[in-house]
Amino acid sequence: ESVMPEKIDYVFKVVVIGDSAVGKTQILSRFTKNEFCFDSKSTIGVEFQTRTVTIKSKLIKAQIWDTAGQERYRAVTSAYYRGALGAMVVYDVTKRQSFDHVARWVEELRAHADNSIVIMLIGNKADLVELRAVPTEDALEFAEDQGLFFAETSALNGDNVDKAFFQLLEEIYGVIC
């Protein structure tokens, strides 16, 4: 975002997980490029994307990892989680099943990631108001119960995406620095 050479203070690795088709790739592309890509899945094979942000006067390079479709085969490897300081566990607010699977994804994180990882639950596709199947209160209750941060987002119109990432990165900063 700056034309000056950047002197990065920290690199924060963040992993994005959740069921297939909940919008993980689009959330990532919204945050890193401010784009929504209608021909999705062009990013297969790309491991991560980055965006450099300023938090508490420090330059933080957020390195956001995408599963690149591995989750379809339940083959997300421990290498994916290695060194991750933050995680976004994404479900689709219009697909109850994707929310029911969140507990499994959180278990997976607890098994493979560092204990101090900061986890944020994300209910995506909040723009699809008429199709909503998961009430905000259900997700909020789960998040409080599990000690997760929580936000609802729309990668399509961009609502809350930056805000959620900034909250996650600030929480990581608080843990690390």
Shortest gap between Cβ of 127 and ligand GDP (angstroms)? Answer: 5
* Pick 63 or 153: Cβ nearer ligand GDP: 153
Residue pair 160/93 in contact (Cβ under 8 Å)? The answer is: no
* Pick 43 or 146: Cβ nearer ligand GDP: 43
Shortest gap between Cβ of 156 and ligand GDP (angstroms)? Answer: 3
Distance, CA of 29 to CA of 24 (rounded, Å): 9
Angle at 102 between CA 100 and CA 107, to 5 degrees: 125
* Pick 8 or 44: Cβ nearer ligand GDP: 44
Shortest gap between Cβ of 27 and ligand GDP (angstroms)? Answer: 7
Which residue's Cβ has the minimum distance to ligand GDP?
23
Report DSSP letters for 74-131, one per residue. T---HHHHTT-SEEEEEEETT-HHHHHTHHHHHHHHHHHS-TT-EEEEEEE-TT-GGG
Which residues in this chain contact ligand GDP in the complex, by CB under 6 A? 20-26, 40-41, 124-125, 127-128, 154-156
Residue pair 78/108 in contact (Cβ under 8 Å)? The answer is: no
* Pick 153 or 173: Cβ nearer ligand GDP: 153
Q: Which residue has the tokens 């609502």?
A: 159
Shortest gap between Cβ of 143 and ligand GDP (angstroms)? Answer: 19
**b/e 85-112 (16+ beta carbons within 10 angstroms → b):** bbbbbbbbbbbeebbebbeebbebbeeb
Shortest gap between Cβ of 43 and ligand GDP (angstroms)? Answer: 8
* Pick 41 or 58: Cβ nearer ligand GDP: 41
